[in-house]
Amino acid sequence: MALVEARQLTKVFRRPEKDPGLRGAVKHLFVRRFTDKVAVDHVDLSIEAGEAVAYVGPNGAGKSTTVKLLSGILVATSGEVRIDGLSPQQDRVKLAHKIGVLFGQRTQLWWDLPVSESLAVLRDIYGIDHGTYRQRMARFEDVLELGEVLPVLGRKLSLGQRMRADLAAALLHAPPVVYLDEPTIGLDLAVKDRVREFFRTVRDEGTTVMLTSHDLGDIEGFCRRLVIIDEGRIIFDGDLQAVKDTFARERILNLETETAVPLDKLREALPGAEIEAGETPLQYAVRFDRFAMTAGQAVTALAPLTNLVDFHVDEPSIEDVIRRVYSGELQLDAAA
């Protein structure tokens, strides 16, 4: 049985329709009009223990709403959610010990308490013994550099400082399931790299992670499965590498040659490839379809023309694929 399971999960928000100003407010008291906004539309999602799943989509697609439904913050309009067999509504207390949640735009710190006291309150809420608490805090200090923020009031933290403290708060009780919604927002590059490495360690230890992020650097190298949601519906659910292999077919072979070679000679040797001059007269960029030829075949075809001093192949990132999905260039099959 999957650790996280949603079946036909749906959330509809009712929005009041009223005219502007005092007249519109008074009129709405007597003539009440509403429109329905479907934020999550019959979503089926199953996540096995130990999986790291990237849950991505454009703004307003339903990512954060899904996380709130899975964690019990919102009640579904219809459908069912089970986390390790527990219902987010009926088993709230039990479930709270099994999940950790981080929202990049929200905090679980007490604004008028120092960070150290907020974490101590969470320690007591979750019943963590003092020895285990010290070990986990030492680990967070290594990765998140919490020492400088522990004495600071929650309301006086910068965005980056708050994100680091909230990460510690979400993972303090070592939950088996973690939802991370934009977890690296506001972090500088050095801290971001350490946090990503920490995520990989948590994943390798068996924690189930659902990650939503617009920073696709958070996803590559961490998640093996990609779920794309758009307008409340899942449009793709499959292997991350398979998406790149299937939809990101183009490769770029960057060459440096010993002597200059006319572009028409290169194009004659590699029919079907797009070849452009590089930054110097001895550099070239060869764009080719990985299903039409391999990089090895391209190098072999070019070798008789000149000696190759250096070459390397650029592969597309998952960011390129997802950007094309968002723009409507690619239509992914949800059943893939």
- Domains of the chain, by residue range, sit at 4-245, 249-315
Percent of the chain with pLDDT over 70: 93
pLDDT of 238 strictly over 50: yes
Residue 159: what pLDDT? 84
Contact 146, 115 (CB under 8 A): yes
DSSP letters along 48-73, please? -TT-EEEEE-STTSSHHHHHHHHHTS
CATH of 4-245, one of 3.40.80.10, 3.90.1200.10, 3.40.50.300, 3.30.40.10: 3.40.50.300
pTM listed for this prediction = 0.76
Give the model's pLDDT for residue 335.
40
* pLDDT value of residue 201: 87
Kindly state the average pLDDT of the residues 29-57.
90
Q: Domain 249-315 class? A: alpha beta
Tell me how far the alpha carbon of residue 145 is from its chain's centroid: 23
Going by pLDDT thresholds of 50, 70 and 90, the confidence category of residue 334 is very low
For residues 247 and 333, give the distance between their C-alpha atoms in angstroms, rounded to a whole number.
Answer: 12
Mean pLDDT of the chain: 86
